Amino acid sequence: MPLKQKVSTSKDIEVADVDRALKYINTKWDDLLRFFPEDRDTLIGLPYPYIIPSTENDSGFAFEEMYYWDSYFTAQGLIKSGRTELAEGMLDDLIYLADRFGSVPNGNRYYLTGRSQPPFLTSYILDIYQIKKDNKWLKKVSEVAKDEYEKVWTNESHPNWRNVFHGLSRYYDINVIDQLAEAESGWDMTTRFNDECLSYIPIDLNCLLYKYEMDFAKIAELLGDETEAEVWKMRAKNRAAKVTYYLWDAEKGFFFDYNYQKDELSDVWSLASYYALWSGLASDEQADRLVDNLDKFMQRGGLSATSEEFGSLHDNYQWAYPNGWAPLHWIVVNGLDRYGHKVMAKNIAKKWLTTNINYFNKYEIFRESYNVVEPMDQPKEGLYPPQEGFGWTNAVFLYFAKKYL
């Protein structure tokens, strides 16, 4: 539906600009759509069509595979735009991969099966359940998620040796290489882990696993099993207590990644901390402290992935200041909204929308990430050439536009 009035932000967003951007995104879904039901060389065939992150550009680099955590954020936009069948099919693809390989791999390439990505399976399942309202389906797919939780994310032995410290988990890779574990984190590459990702208990991962536990409790309640629900709630409570004990800095009022090998907190301020809001792990007092510290990340064009002093060491460190990312904005905004900071959530969403719109007006594309310090400049590049027309950026823009404009 076209917007009927100008939306007030730090710089007003014109209705026509929003409508043009949404038209671009809705057309772009078809460009990003792929369907390969059979294996093809290194590409793993999937039973349903899916959205890739971006199409080939001048660099010659192209994706033909779907990615685990990308798919969850992409689905948020697909659902908002009424493409629920496609969003459901992509979830079925992830379930298929989990059944076939024993985990949801980084992406549907054989060379990506040695690691996973940040786990969003239960969140995705519950989003689709709100559409399907099918308890038989819910029971079936939740069993796949439980297998993933137990055999991948809370496993204590190789090749899934992630549960390493008092029931808290790390990112991992079958090759036991720090850089590949960092790739599993989705933050490839970042200043968060000091190139020693295997040594860190990450705040975002353990918030995700807390949410799994609370989601399993909710699913048990939906299926009428209150006893199982209480078991999962207790697991979540125990995890939250350990996360607070080891990863919370009470003096700074912030969650940090924890180096369990050196028994010390990282000093890197990153937006990963705000998974504690989105997941509901944070206490009300912790939430207030986290909100107070948001100014460390607030830039002209949105939120930087890390604070300035922990910015990009070189071009490969794209998940750091000065870059801002759509999924991190989605996590922060929805986390703020969950704890009642609705005005701040809306303002950050509009700031991000403005950055996307202004860049689109000038260059006619949506980017994988943005330089939020100088929004019209190029972001710091990563390990692969810069991408455009990007799936999760399109999706989060659409989600915020529908929710806040």
Secondary structure of residue 10 in the 3-state scheme? coil
The residues with which 165 forms a beta bridge, in sequence order, are 168
Mean pLDDT of the chain: 94
Per-residue buried b or exposed e for 49-85, using 16+ beta carbons within 10 Å of the residue's own CB: bbbbbbbeeeeeeebebbbbbbbbbbbbbbbbbebbe
Helix H, strand E, coil C: the string for 63-83 is: CCCCEHHHHHHHHHHHHHCCC
Q: Residue type for 20, please?
A: R
Secondary structure of residue 121 in the 3-state scheme? helix
Q: Residue type for 176, please?
A: V
Shortest CA distance to 107 belongs to which of 188, 170, 177, 216? 188
Q: Residue type for 24, please?
A: Y
Task: Check pLDDT > 60 for residue 8.
Answer: no
Name the pTM for this structure.
0.95
- 198-245 pLDDT per residue, tens: 999 999 999 999 999 999 999 999 999 999 999 999 999 999 999 999
Tokens 């990153």 found at: 270
- 248-282 pLDDT per residue, tens: 999 999 999 999 999 999 999 999 999 999 999 99
**Tokens of residue 319, six digits:** 């998940």
pLDDT confidence of 386, banded at 50, 70, 90? low
Task: Output the CA torsion sign for 41, 43, 44, 49.
Answer: negative
The DSSP code for 383 is: S
The DSSP code for 378 is: P
Question: What's the distance, Cα to Cα, between the start and end of the chain in Å?
Answer: 11
Per-residue buried b or exposed e for 126-141, using 16+ beta carbons within 10 Å of the residue's own CB: bbbbeeeeeeeebeeb
| pLDDT (0 to 100) of residue 393 | 97
Q: Mean of the pLDDT values across residues 281-287?
A: 98
- Chain-centre distance for alpha carbon 226: 30
- 133-174 pLDDT per residue, tens: 999 999 999 999 999 999 999 999 999 999 999 999 999 999
| pLDDT (0 to 100) of residue 5 | 34
Task: Check pLDDT > 90 for residue 59.
Answer: no
Q: Which helix (H) or strand (E) holds 213?
A: helix 203-222
